């Protein structure tokens, strides 16, 4: 285990593309989260110009809502795609530069190769979640002090949900890169599917044409995003009676994990069968 | 001699094409073993199976008397086709990754880099290396951790004469240390210069295998010269196995249908009163032999 991690770490330590993309991801993530309130309230101001009854400003950085809101923004397709692309690059590089072949020649087993990639996904998901959790905590602390930190009722569940979203989504990306073996193609298809195909499917199959649980609900990427589907904006609930998400569904977490497990199973089977 | 590699009836097809067909051979410790064959004869496919890059369809092989495993591969250093490294990592990190996989210490990284003439460039990214340097780095990585066996697939392919010389020098040095070497090549000259044993492949079938010196010992023509050339020519026609002769610059080159004994020829001509001023065996080169072998079988 440690040995595999050592190897993986050497592969990325001086890889500029990896660090640039990771840096961009965090910049994008931080900017999105920190500018969200300002942007929403900007929209509110615009609306208020047209409506006679003024709509109050939202506050999204207070405990306990900050946990859910950060998890929500970090789980948006356009943000989540960053670590996925990084993962695609890391796996397809192994095929492009035939280093997977060389690793096996040098005495790595195919199972070890797969394990090393899954380990790096796990580590990345842990690190990103920890950083995000620390960030949420600091934001909350800055806005509401130690009142209602709600670590156990809101903090841990929503950060755990984000962790599972990120982990599973990166496994999807790994699977896509692993099967296609070509960086450009894998990124194009993965991005196209995540950002365009699934939303289009949603558009055509949404209620009321079908029951409440439509096909769309079970599409792989949606099951990932659905874990933190809505932000927590108490005012919406108070004023308009909108019943948005207030907890993380355990069952919902199992679905993307099931997808990820199936993908890992297929990848492992293919890796055993295929000539390198 | 201890058997390092035992290959038994190994076969592999790509669709209808039999890339390797019932191949069997054995490599002993310390041997420099050549696999010779034109492009597409199944050399790389054979090595790929021996290194677990693809499963054999039929047959089996063993390394060090044991069934193949990742542990046996750690004792083997290999250069298969192109050098495979991360272009964005420097030479040292690329070699450290290899050492990690092989469970070998980093101690001899400097040594192999010096041997490959890349020590000065050790912190340069692999991307910046020339073709020859890449090939030498691949060799350096194969030599890491002092492997018991070195597998080389076309190690000098595409290199300039200087690059070829550098690679061959390193191979010779490694062979002199007693490392077993398995070399696949389509270059006869290379096999002739480096190897002591050889198997010749064509379309996946082993045409012939054995000691390179024995192959070279096949001699079927002789150069002769004497003061009385017409008498010599007349006498030569009576020799057993005579086929034809060519006259060139004061000597004749005589072809025989079988291997001849020069001492016997000398005695025979001496008895006829012909005194030779020149007698030389004209050995067929491995190249001629190889081409003939390839043509003989339909």
- What CATH number is given to the structural domain containing B200? 3.40.50.300
Residues B237 and B197 in one domain: no
Hey, is the C-beta of A37 within 8 angstroms of any chain B C-beta? no
Question: pLDDT (tens digit, 9 = 90+) per residue, B174-213?
Answer: 999 999 999 998 887 788 788 889 888 888 888 778 887 6
Residues B279 and B132 in one domain: no
Domain count, chain B: 2
List residues of B whose CB lies inside 8 A of any A CB.
48, 51-55, 70-71, 73-74, 78, 80, 82, 84-90, 93, 96-98, 100-103, 141
CB A202, CB A216: distance < 8 Å: yes
Residues B208 and B192 in one domain: yes
Name the strands in the sheet holding B197-202, side by side, starting at the edge strand that comes first in the sequence.
Answer: B76-79, B149-153, B180-185, B32-36, B197-202, B205-211
**pLDDT for residue A132:** 95
For tokens 């194009």, the residue is A188
Whole-angstrom distance, CA of residue B68 vs CA of residue A76: 48
* CATH of residue B244: 3.30.70.100
Residues B72 and B173 in one domain: yes
Give the structural domain span for A263. Answer: 2-273
Question: Helices marked H in B228-277 — which ranges?
Answer: 229-236, 262-271
Question: pLDDT (tens digit, 9 = 90+) per residue, A130-178?
Answer: 999 999 999 988 888 777 777 767 788 899 999 999 999 999 999 999 9
**What mean pLDDT, rounded, does chain B reach?**
86
**pLDDT for residue B218:** 53
| Non-local CB neighbours of B58 within 8 Å, separated by 6+ positions | B9, B10, B11, B22
| Non-local CB neighbours of B263 within 8 Å, separated by 6+ positions | none
CB B94, CB B126: distance < 8 Å: yes
Residues B211 and B225 in one domain: no
Domain count, chain A: 1
Residues B19 and B104 in one domain: yes
**pLDDT for residue B298:** 44
**What mean pLDDT, rounded, does chain A reach?**
88
- Read off the pLDDT band of B219 (50, 70, 90): low
Residues B229 and B201 in one domain: no
Stated pTM of the model: 0.84
Question: pLDDT (tens digit, 9 = 90+) per residue, A167-210?
Answer: 999 999 999 999 999 999 999 999 999 999 988 887 777 655 54
Q: With the C-alpha atoms ordered B23, B24, B29, B35, is the resulting torsion angle positive or negative? A: negative
- Read off the pLDDT band of B293 (50, 70, 90): low
Cβ–Cβ gap B101/A13 under 8 Å: no
Hey, is the C-beta of A106 within 8 angstroms of any chain B C-beta? yes
CB A248, CB A156: distance < 8 Å: no
Give the structural domain span for B171. Answer: 3-215
- Read off the pLDDT band of B259 (50, 70, 90): low
- Tell me the average pLDDT across A120-125: 96
Cβ–Cβ gap A112/B84 under 8 Å: no
Cβ–Cβ gap A104/B51 under 8 Å: yes
Question: pLDDT (tens digit, 9 = 90+) per residue, A60-78?
Answer: 888 888 898 899 999 999 9
**pLDDT for residue B215:** 60
The b/e string for B130-163 (b: 16+ C-beta within 10 A; e otherwise) is eebbbbbbbbbbbbbbebbbbbbbbbbeebeeeb
> What element of type H or E holds B289?
helix B286-296
Whole-angstrom distance, CA of residue A90 vs CA of residue A12: 8
Chain A CA closest to residue B142: A106
Residues in A closer than 8 angstroms to B80, CB to CB, are 101, 105
Residues B20 and B164 in one domain: yes
């Amino acid at each position: 285990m440690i040995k595999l991690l050592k190897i993986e770490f050497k592969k990325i330590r001086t890889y500029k593309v990896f660090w640039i993309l990771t840096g961009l991801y965090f910049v994008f993530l931080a900017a999105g989260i920190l500018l969200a309130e300002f942007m929403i309230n900007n929209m509110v101001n615009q609306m208020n110009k047209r409506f006679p009854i003024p709509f109050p400003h939202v506050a999204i950085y207070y405990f306990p809502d900050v946990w859910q809101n950060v998890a929500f923004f970090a789980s948006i397709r356009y943000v989540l795609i960053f670590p996925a692309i990084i993962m695609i690059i890391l796996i397809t590089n192994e095929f492009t530069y035939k280093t997977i072949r060389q690793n096996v020649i040098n005495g790595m087993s195919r199972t070890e190769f797969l394990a090393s990639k899954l380990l790096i996904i796990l580590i990345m998901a842990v690190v990103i979640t920890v950083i995000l959790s620390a960030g949420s905590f600091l934001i909350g602390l800055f806005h509401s002090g130690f009142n209602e930190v709600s670590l156990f009722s809101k903090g841990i569940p929503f950060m755990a949900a984000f962790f599972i979203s990120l982990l599973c989504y990166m496994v999807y990306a790994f699977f896509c890169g692993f099967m296609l073996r070509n960086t450009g193609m894998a990124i194009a298809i993965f991005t196209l599917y995540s950002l365009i195909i699934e939303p289009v499917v949603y558009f055509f199959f949404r209620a009321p044409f079908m029951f409440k649980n439509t096909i769309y609900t079970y599409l792989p990427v949606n099951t990932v995003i659905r874990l933190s589907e809505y932000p927590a904006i108490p005012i919406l609930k108070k004023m308009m009676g909108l019943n948005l998400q207030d907890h993380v569904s355990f069952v919902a977490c199992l679905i993307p994990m099931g997808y990820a497990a199936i993908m890992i199973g297929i990848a492992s089977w293919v890796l055993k069968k295929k000539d390198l | 001699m201890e058997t390092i590699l035992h290959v038994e009836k190994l076969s592999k097809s790509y669709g209808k094409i039999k890339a390797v067909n019932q191949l069997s051979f054995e490599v002993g410790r310390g041997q420099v073993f050549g696999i010779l064959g034109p492009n597409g004869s199944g050399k790389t496919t054979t090595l790929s199976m021996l290194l677990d890059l693809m499963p054999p369809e039929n047959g089996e092989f063993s390394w060090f008397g044991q069934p193949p495993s990742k542990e046996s591969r750690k004792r083997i250093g290999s250069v298969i086709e192109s050098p495979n490294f991360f272009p964005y990592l420097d030479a040292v990190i690329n070699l450290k990754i290899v050492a990690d996989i092989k469970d070998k210490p980093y101690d001899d990284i400097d040594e192999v880099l010096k041997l490959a003439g890349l020590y000065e460039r050790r912190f340069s990214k692999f991307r910046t290396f020339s073709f020859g340097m890449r090939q030498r780095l691949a060799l350096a990585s194969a030599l890491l951790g002092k492997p018991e066996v070195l597998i080389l697939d076309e190690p000098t392919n595409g290199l300039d004469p200087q690059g070829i010389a550098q690679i061959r020098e390193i191979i010779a040095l490694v062979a002199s240390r007693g490392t077993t070497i398995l070399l696949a090549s389509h270059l006869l000259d290379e096999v002739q210069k480096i190897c002591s044993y050889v198997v010749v492949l064509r379309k996946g079938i082993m045409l012939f295998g054995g000691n390179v010196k024995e192959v070279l010992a096949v001699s079927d023509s002789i150069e002769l010269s004497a003061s009385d050339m017409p008498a010599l020519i007349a006498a030569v026609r009576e020799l057993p196995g005579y086929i034809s002769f060519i006259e060139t610059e004061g000597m004749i080159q005589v072809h025989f249908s079988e291997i001849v004994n020069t001492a016997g020829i000398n005695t025979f001509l001496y008895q006829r009163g012909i005194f030779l001023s020149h007698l030389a065996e004209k050995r067929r080169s491995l190249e001629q032999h190889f081409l003939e072998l390839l043509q003989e079988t339909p």
